[in-house]
A and B are shown apart, each in its own frame.
Chain A
Amino acid sequence: MKIIRLLLALTVALTLTSCGRSGESGHSSSRKVIQNKGSDTLVNVAQAWAEAYRKINPNVAVAVSGGGSGTGIAALINGTVDIANASREIKPSEMEQARANGHTPVEHIVGYDALAVYVHKDNPLEGISLDQLAEIYGEGGTLEKWTQLGVEVPGCEKQEIIRVSRQNNSGTYVYFREAVLGKNRDYKLGSRDMHGSKDVVDLVQHTPCAIGYSGLAYATPEVKMLCIEDGQGNCVAPSEKTAFDGTYPIARPLFMYTDGEPTGAIKAYLDWILSDEGQCIIKEKGYAPVREVVCEGDAQTGE
């Protein structure tokens, strides 16, 4: 009884105070604000776009937040963002929820991301096949030790493979599962699930036994990227080029979702993102553009 009274008192107090303020004033609209939220993979590019767009059109301001692809899509379903960033496709269930709430998500591909497989820089391994990755990460997988892959990792005491993964509302997590494990296979339990793309690389950098997956854009000179073997003697290293031409097997499109076909300022912003200028920014950040673009400084950043 006491608890019910307490809750009642709380709600009444909150409702009263908030209602008093809600009628205060309308939105100030000298400036158009675009709310942009979602994927941690895309957040740095989204930030760079927002930063650069301020110079293109000072009357439009893009506010960027991260949180994960799931967070962005949820916000679109709730109608609290204009553009949701996602590093995976929207799920049918999410589509339904959005429709039920009166929103129609429209998909735009804004770039491609190669998912690199990282190991410690002392690890002698050079390449790995998708099957091997599945045996390392997948439920019931048999690969537990580096020695099973034919290497001995210096500094890794028991040669046990420490799997670094992502939290489950991450688009990277979902995509890696689909591309490597297959739709119906789950991750093996006991992985370290990191909260950001950068955290994965940081942990791998400091852990000799570790293997992890994260966007190519998060590569640093302190970690090693494995090439992916196709079983026919070829080993494809992740790069913007191999992501774009489809030879690298774990590359994925990066999406922006809008509510309905974009119009006005949102359309202008998306058009600009897909223009040469916008695509050069995503390229500079280490992702692959949606088409070939020639950018300033290409000479020194080329493969």
Chain B
Amino acid sequence: MFKATELNLRNEQREKRWRLLFLLMALLLILPVLIILILLVYRGGPVISWSFLFEFPRNGMTEGGIFPALLGTIFLVVVALVFSVPLGVAAAVYLSEYAPDNWLTRTINLAIINLAGVPSIVHALFGVGAFVLFFEFGTSILAASLTLGIMTLPVVIVATRESLQAVPHAFREACWALGATRWQTIRRIVLPNAVSGILTGIILEVSRTAGETAPIMFTGAAFFVPFLPESVYDQTMALSLHLYTISTQVTGVPEDLPFGVALVLIGIVLSMNALSIAFRVYLRNKKKW
């Protein structure tokens, strides 16, 4: 064997140092998450109670609960999903299973990439112009959810397309060899095998939708609504906007209250993410390939 020269040793040292530096950088990522969580739990934790979650705001929104905002956020997310999931999955199936490589496909792909890159405030203005004014939905859950749906469409499409493409091509070929049509193959073989990835994409969309403020601020979410939303044509409160308004506009709010709202909001988002991870693990273990 050969003996390590000075140069070898120096390189090894240097290698170690770089490695350590990069590790530190990676560890830095954890820091903000931890600090945010600790701060929120510490300041907002004591605020949270049953009555906080399930009561109306009282006394100029300085007391009482956040029920209308909580329910409003859920309502907004569900309607956005009703709109974006079928559309997104269908688009992804076309792009992954049917689309030939031509200018149309390339244009659609380009559109998806661009749609994902549009800032949310631009989506908001589009929502006002298209849904609130042109389609005359007014400022309503419908308008807000459609705006959110369009904004999160790329997430669903990309996640679905990727999980469809993760299904081995041999599966499809075997299926076709048995005389199945394309649609039968998709319906019986491709989609069932891709469902974990699709669900993950949807849940990620939910967590993003729940936290958005800009797109709903002009299209359907209000500063204060003294009732629970009943139809998609109602205006509603939403957690993210509520957090914004009580921290910037309302006087006399107890200092810990916004932290409580933030904790609930991030709680929803994180539990959604956890659910998505759990789903993925569960369905992956069930896979036979």
Question: Would B248 and A196 count as touching, CB distance under 8 A?
Answer: yes
Partner of B223, one of A53, A54, A66: A66
Question: Would B226 and A62 count as touching, CB distance under 8 A?
Answer: yes
- Residues of chain A in range 109-160 having any CB-CB distance to chain B below 8 Å: none
- Residues of chain A in range 1-50 having any CB-CB distance to chain B below 8 Å: 2, 5-6, 9-10, 14, 17-19, 21-22, 24-25, 27-28, 30-31, 33, 35, 40, 43-44, 46-48, 50
Question: Would A51 and B226 count as touching, CB distance under 8 A?
Answer: yes
Against A, the Cβ 8 Å flags (1 = close, 0 = not) of B110-137 are 1100110000000000000011110101
Question: Would B223 and A43 count as touching, CB distance under 8 A?
Answer: yes
The chain A residue with its CB closest to the CB of B230 is A28
- Chain A residue numbers with a CB within 8 Å of B232 are 24
For residue B108, CB closer than 8 A to chain A, the reply is: yes
For residue B183, CB closer than 8 A to chain A, the reply is: no
For residue A199, CB closer than 8 A to chain B, the reply is: yes
Against A, the Cβ 8 Å flags (1 = close, 0 = not) of B71-113 are 0000000000001000100000000000000010001101100
Question: Would B230 and A66 count as touching, CB distance under 8 A?
Answer: no
- Chain B residue numbers with a CB within 8 Å of A220 are 251
Question: Would A33 and B139 count as touching, CB distance under 8 A?
Answer: no
Against A, the Cβ 8 Å flags (1 = close, 0 = not) of B134-162 are 01011100100010001000000000000
For residue A168, CB closer than 8 A to chain B, the reply is: no
Least CB distance, A215 to chain B, in whole angstroms:
10
- Chain B residue numbers with a CB within 8 Å of A65 are 139, 222-223, 235
Chain A contact residues: helix, strand, loop or mixed: helix
- Residues of chain A in range 92-124 having any CB-CB distance to chain B below 8 Å: none
- Chain A residue numbers with a CB within 8 Å of B59 are 51
For residue B245, CB closer than 8 A to chain A, the reply is: yes
Least CB distance, A191 to chain B, in whole angstroms:
19
**Quick one: given A14-B150, A35-B235, A78-B133, are A198 and B248 in contact (CB under 8 Å)?**
yes
Question: Would B231 and A27 count as touching, CB distance under 8 A?
Answer: yes
Partner of A44, one of B60, B114, B135: B60
- State in angstroms the CA–CA spacing of A80 and B250 once bound together: 24
Against B, the Cβ 8 Å flags (1 = close, 0 = not) of A56-70 are 000001111111000
For residue A274, CB closer than 8 A to chain B, the reply is: no
The chain A residue with its CB closest to the CB of B241 is A65
Question: Would A80 and B224 count as touching, CB distance under 8 A?
Answer: no
- State in angstroms the CA–CA spacing of A160 and B135 once bound together: 52
For residue B10, CB closer than 8 A to chain A, the reply is: no
Number of residues of chain B lying within 8 A (CB) of chain A: 43
Partner of A6, one of B107, B130, B133, B137: B107
For residue B234, CB closer than 8 A to chain A, the reply is: yes
Question: Would B226 and A80 count as touching, CB distance under 8 A?
Answer: no
**Quick one: given A6-B114, A17-B83, A35-B139, are A50 and B224 in contact (CB under 8 Å)?**
yes
Against A, the Cβ 8 Å flags (1 = close, 0 = not) of B209-242 are 0000000001000111111001111110000000
Question: Would A33 and B249 count as touching, CB distance under 8 A?
Answer: no
Least CB distance, B261 to chain A, in whole angstroms:
16
Question: Would A21 and B83 count as touching, CB distance under 8 A?
Answer: yes
Question: Would B111 and A28 count as touching, CB distance under 8 A?
Answer: no
For residue A177, CB closer than 8 A to chain B, the reply is: no
- Chain A residue numbers with a CB within 8 Å of B194 are none
**Quick one: given A17-B83, A80-B138, are A5 and B233 in contact (CB under 8 Å)?**
no
The chain A residue with its CB closest to the CB of B131 is A18
Number of residues of chain A lying within 8 A (CB) of chain B: 47
For residue B202, CB closer than 8 A to chain A, the reply is: no
- Chain B residue numbers with a CB within 8 Å of A17 are 83, 87
- State in angstroms the CA–CA spacing of A25 and B140 once bound together: 14
- Chain A residue numbers with a CB within 8 Å of B87 are 17
- State in angstroms the CA–CA spacing of A17 and B91 once bound together: 13
For residue A241, CB closer than 8 A to chain B, the reply is: no
- State in angstroms the CA–CA spacing of A19 and B135 once bound together: 8
- State in angstroms the CA–CA spacing of A107 and B249 once bound together: 25
For residue A204, CB closer than 8 A to chain B, the reply is: no
- State in angstroms the CA–CA spacing of A267 and B176 once bound together: 69
- Chain A residue numbers with a CB within 8 Å of B250 are 44, 47, 198
Partner of A18, one of B111, B130, B218, B249: B130
Question: Would B223 and A64 count as touching, CB distance under 8 A?
Answer: yes
- State in angstroms the CA–CA spacing of A220 and B132 once bound together: 38
Partner of A54, one of B130, B135, B226, B230: B226
In the complex, 30 of the A-B residue pairs with CB atoms within 8 angstroms, ordered by the A residue number, are: A2-B107, A5-B107, A6-B114, A9-B111, A10-B115, A14-B130, A18-B131, A18-B146, A19-B135, A27-B233, A31-B230, A33-B234, A35-B138, A43-B249, A51-B58, A51-B60, A54-B227, A61-B226, A62-B226, A63-B224, A64-B225, A65-B235, A66-B249, A67-B218, A80-B132, A80-B138, A80-B139, A196-B249, A197-B249, A198-B250
The 3 closest A-B pairs by CB, nearest first: A54-B226, A63-B235, A47-B224
Interface residues of B (CB under 8 A from A): 57-61, 83, 87, 103, 107-108, 110-111, 114-115, 130-133, 135, 137-139, 142, 146, 150, 218, 222-227, 230-235, 245, 248-251
- Extra 14 A-B pairs, beta carbons < 8 Å, given A22-B135, A40-B249: A10-B111, A17-B83, A18-B130, A24-B232, A25-B231, A28-B233, A33-B235, A47-B61, A51-B59, A63-B222, A64-B222, A65-B235, A66-B245, A220-B251
Interface residues of A (CB under 8 A from B): 2, 5-6, 9-10, 14, 17-19, 21-22, 24-25, 27-28, 30-31, 33, 35, 40, 43-44, 46-48, 50-51, 53-54, 61-67, 78, 80, 195-199, 217-218, 220, 285
